Structure 1
Amino acid sequence: MLKLFKPVLYVCGLLSLLMAGLMLIPAITGWVQQDSETYAFVFSSIVTAVAGTVLVLSCRSHHFSLTPRQLYLMTSCSWVLLSVAGALPLIFGHGEIGITDAVFESVSGITTTGSTVLSGLENMPHSLLLWRALLQWIGGLGVIGMAVSILPFLRVGGMRLFQTESSDWSDKSLPRLGNLARLLLGVYSIITAACILGYWLNGMSLFDAVSHALTTVSTGGYATDDRSMGRFDNGILWVSILFMLLGGMPFVLFIRFMSNPSPKALADEQVFGFLVIVAVLAVIMTFYLIQYDYYEPFDALTQATFNIVSVITTTGYASTDYSLWGGFSLIFFFFVTFIGGCSGSTSGGMKIFRFQLSYLFLHRQIKMQVHPRGQFSILYNGKEVEDDIIFSAVAFSFLFFLTLVFTSMILAMTGLDYMTSLTGAATALTNVGPGLGDIIGPAGNFKPLSDTAKWVLCFAMLLGRLELLSIMVLFTPVFWRG
């Protein structure tokens, strides 16, 4: 058993040291501004660094390779560890935050969900607001790395469709994996810097520009004000739309474009489908808002596009309370919640490629009904898709909705109404952020929920972020045999 856990604990130790270093950024910010959170970040950094050092020194090895079982463990343990470490400054610092709320805020941040239990954000210390943004930024980077290097290797939910040479965790492949990590970090940082500049040039303060850029590119959605993005003008909203869309696209494509700057490098069926769906949904909602006189035409286009992009990329920003747009809007945004962005992006949700594969599979089944002896292949990005990838995607979809049902029922048992239970479960599993209804809607907050409901939602957020199977496999007897 020690052999199974030793490499996993070593990686967790390295991540602890990374988190300890990140905590010094808000600590310095707090020291410069002389706010009350400075010592909480310093103390949390020391505790996290000590724990990380102990794990690294006690579990280091000359040879580093991970088996599939260890990768499953590492994926789940590392996200839990990051969530716990991220909660420490909230526990030791802000007096109004209890352990449950601190862990909830941290899990929501590191999984880039964006659900919050905090209110009065505009009056909180900048160090605390910056820490929330950093949690989402590092979580978004982790999501990309997991999607391009770990989940395809583990054949999770059809992700083998995106397997590359870097989806290999043997000794000989680690240099290639390290190179990919550096390229991803570079692209991620460049897009974040461009987003900061875009926000700042359009009128945001430098602090707001940095904080919102970190949570826009990571499609996390934490804001620095209870009004979310509702206090900004249309220019800033369109900047946000652009970078939320970039955050919802595969980052491997951006790396490919950097090495070969041509339109062909960006050609991808998943991206095309993603942009078409966004455009169609935005047009439908814009016409609806104009028809019922909610906004003038340009404002209707801006509000519709911004909130649709925010939900479909699972960012979770809100420029207004769209649940007040009538019954059609409630149903509309509820179903948009499930779609998600592209695989290899920072977005959550079910992912565009699974909908595309499901359509192609259905189309093939219809043709086979007409021509039972026919042989029909499914092509995706010009390559034939093997049946096991289709079956894996279908299994994921079934498990997703089964989990949604059980999570909703458990939340209802804690005393929540059906709207809050259903949309709370949905927004946690898809990592969107706001739900629907008076309590957790776009203008609401998760603070009124019971501690039990919050812990259930924490687990659901981790399940959704890790594509369900990565965690659920740990609860099966077959995983622990042998």
Structure 2
Amino acid sequence: MNFSMIVYILAWVLRIEGISLLLPFICAIIYREHSSAAAILSVSAMSLVVGAVLTRKKPKKIAFYTREGFVIVAGCWLVLSLVGALPFYISGKIPHYIDAVFEIVSGFTTTGSSILSDVEALGKGLIFWRSFSHWMGGMGVLVLVLTVLPLGGGYNMMIMKAESPGPDVSKMVPRVADTAKALYKIYFVLTVICIFAFLLSGMPFFDALCIGFGTAGTGGFAIRNSGMADYSMFSQFLITIFMILFGINFNVYYLLQRRKWKDAFSSEEARTYLLIILCSTLFIAFNNLKEMGNGLLFALHHAFFTVGSIITTTGFSTLDYNHWAVPSQMVILFLMISGACAGSTGGGIKVSRLIILLKNMGKELHLIIHPEAIKRIRLEGKSLDYNVVRSVSTYLIAYCFVYIISIFLISFDGFDFTTNFSAISATFNNIGPGLAKVGPIENFSIYSPFSKAVMIFDMLAGRLEIFPMLILFSPKTWKRTN
């Protein structure tokens, strides 16, 4: 285990976090929130100083392998969250540290679950930091690190594979550092377009900025106590469109940028993702015409927004879907688990994994009927390697294991099954709101500190594809090798 290299990269993450904290500090100064500004600046200064000291000298031995890559990813997200929670705690806006950690982990993992009943009481500076954490976590913090710290020797790819969502990660360009830059360039440009569109729809500048960060990162932190209900239907429609766009694999945008139109528009995962959105929207709208009232167009609008928000794991809400028909709530639970496309900012299992699992099931049924047949699983027009199929099956086993254990652990708080099941669904799949007592107009403050700790783990595990978090608990991970 190359501990010196792990500490070196952790320190670089601290430096980036310290610089990032200067943006909410400026925001707090502009709005004359002096106590929040002081808290933010102190944490920023601490991060920059500690990071600078620990990165002053690059380790002599830079080689590390897969397990170090996973430990680096998990460790960086933990450090990022533990430090990022300090401005909330030091300012006194969130008096309990575990609640502050829950809030910022929910931000960085683009979950959007909250323990706050009065969001606006945070003040503009901390609301900005809370929303900006979505944008930082959306594409991946270490992907950002790789744009400024190219390691060479193939080590970058180990980190990117451990952090990037989806069953497989491939380089878009020959060098991983260039891939990271290409991803962030697309991410940045789309975010700017998104914010500009919100401004044109009539949103105030601060709202457009923060909602833009949440939409781009598919995070879902609202900046008003009323959620998205105060904004115009046109603004809500634009939010829906951009949520869906950020839920598409960024490789598609790279192909469009390279003018490879045929490859971009032939994405099987993207087509399936859009088909799920269309079918779910129509079903929910017609299933809830009476509950929503105000006609078919109104029902379609809010069904479209909710479906777009849930499948992309953003978590914004315009209506309380706790009052919708039970079949519609079941569709919402499916969308929570399904998630968006691999290689996007969305969470959940990912549409590509669902496609692979269904095709693998079809293959097994075919082999039962025709034992001598040779049948390969294909995705995006390519035959999938056995290791990819195996990793998807292994992921599903780990996913179910963590899901069941988490529901069991939080059940000791005494809440009903729907509340507990949807709370884990919302946090583990990085959604935001759940159902029943953790629905769109509720929050997660009802849970005990222990249950919040379980959900903090789930949010990180869900964002990091489970294994980087699980590997921390294996004694073999920490054994030194010659």
TM-score normalised by the chain length of structure 1:
0.92
Rounded to whole Å, the distance in 2 between the matches of 1:143 and 1:441 is 29
Structure 2 counterpart of 1:98, one-letter code = H
Q: Which residue of structure 2 aligns with residue 189 of structure 1?
A: 188
User: For 1:35-114, what aligned pairs fall within 5 Å after superposition?
Assistant: 35-36=33-34, 37-57=36-56, 60-61=58-59, 64-114=62-112
Identity of aligned residues (%): 28
Structure 1 vs Structure 2 CA RMSD: 2.2
Is residue 250–residue 342 contact of structure 1 (8 Å, CA) maintained in 2? yes
User: For 1:223-234, what aligned pairs fall within 5 Å after superposition?
Assistant: 223-234=222-233
Rounded to whole Å, the distance in 2 between the matches of 1:215 and 1:154 is 23
Question: Does residue 164 of the first structure (1) align with residue 200 of the second (2)?
Answer: no
Q: Which residue of structure 1 aligns with residue 212 of structure 2?
A: 213
Rounded to whole Å, the distance in 2 between the matches of 1:461 and 1:126 is 25
Rounded to whole Å, the distance in 2 between the matches of 1:21 and 1:52 is 11
**Offset from partner CA, 1:410-452 (integer Å, 9 cap, x none):** 0001333322221111111101011111x21111011222111
Among 439, 445, 448, which residue is 1:447 paired with?
Answer: 445
Q: Which residue of structure 2 aligns with residue 309 of structure 1?
A: 308
Q: Which residue of structure 2 aligns with residue 169 of structure 1?
A: none
Q: Which residue of structure 2 aligns with residue 138 of structure 1?
A: 136
Q: 1:322 to 1:149 in 2, by over 3 A?
A: farther
Q: How big is the shift at 1:159?
A: 2.2
SS of residue in 2 equivalent to 1:90: helix
Q: How big is the shift at 1:473?
A: 2.1
Is residue 109–residue 132 contact of structure 1 (8 Å, CA) maintained in 2? yes
More displaced 10-residue stretch of structure 1: 242-251 or 142-151? 142-151
More displaced 10-residue stretch of structure 1: 457-466 or 328-337? 328-337
Q: 1:152 to 1:358 in 2, by over 3 A?
A: farther
Unaligned runs of 5+ in 2: 147-155
Question: Does residue 5 of the first structure (1) align with residue 3 of the second (2)?
Answer: yes
Rounded to whole Å, the distance in 2 between the matches of 1:137 and 1:177 is 21
Among 124, 127, 133, which residue is 1:126 paired with?
Answer: 124
Q: How big is the shift at 1:111?
A: 0.5
Q: How big is the shift at 1:283?
A: 1.0
TM-score normalised by the chain length of structure 2:
0.92
Q: Which residue of structure 1 aligns with residue 463 of structure 2?
A: 465
Q: Which residue of structure 2 aligns with residue 417 of structure 1?
A: 416
Is residue 337–residue 349 contact of structure 2 (8 Å, CA) maintained in 1? yes
User: How many residues are aligned here?
Assistant: 469
**Offset from partner CA, 1:338-366 (integer Å, 9 cap, x none):** 01011111111000011100111111122
Q: How big is the shift at 1:263?
A: 4.8
SS of residue in 2 equivalent to 1:57: coil
Q: 1:82 to 1:398 in 2, by over 3 A?
A: same
Question: Does residue 240 of the first structure (1) align with residue 248 of the second (2)?
Answer: no
Q: Which residue of structure 1 aligns with residue 328 of structure 2?
A: 329
Q: 1:155 to 1:441 in 2, by over 3 A?
A: closer
Is residue 144–residue 251 contact of structure 1 (8 Å, CA) maintained in 2? no
Is residue 164–residue 343 contact of structure 2 (8 Å, CA) maintained in 1? no
Q: Which residue of structure 2 aligns with residue 170 of structure 1?
A: none
Rounded to whole Å, the distance in 2 between the matches of 1:364 and 1:377 is 8
Rounded to whole Å, the distance in 1 between the matches of 2:186 and 2:60 is 31
Rounded to whole Å, the distance in 2 between the matches of 1:143 and 1:249 is 19
Q: How big is the shift at 1:292?
A: 5.4
Rounded to whole Å, the distance in 1 between the matches of 2:387 and 2:227 is 42
SS of residue in 1 equivalent to 2:465: coil
Rounded to whole Å, the distance in 2 between the matches of 1:293 and 1:286 is 9
Structure 1 counterpart of 2:170, one-letter code = Q
Is residue 254–residue 266 contact of structure 1 (8 Å, CA) maintained in 2? no
Q: How big is the shift at 1:119?
A: 2.6
Among 111, 114, 125, which residue is 1:116 paired with?
Answer: 114
Structure 1 counterpart of 2:112, one-letter code = G
Is residue 338–residue 430 contact of structure 1 (8 Å, CA) maintained in 2? yes
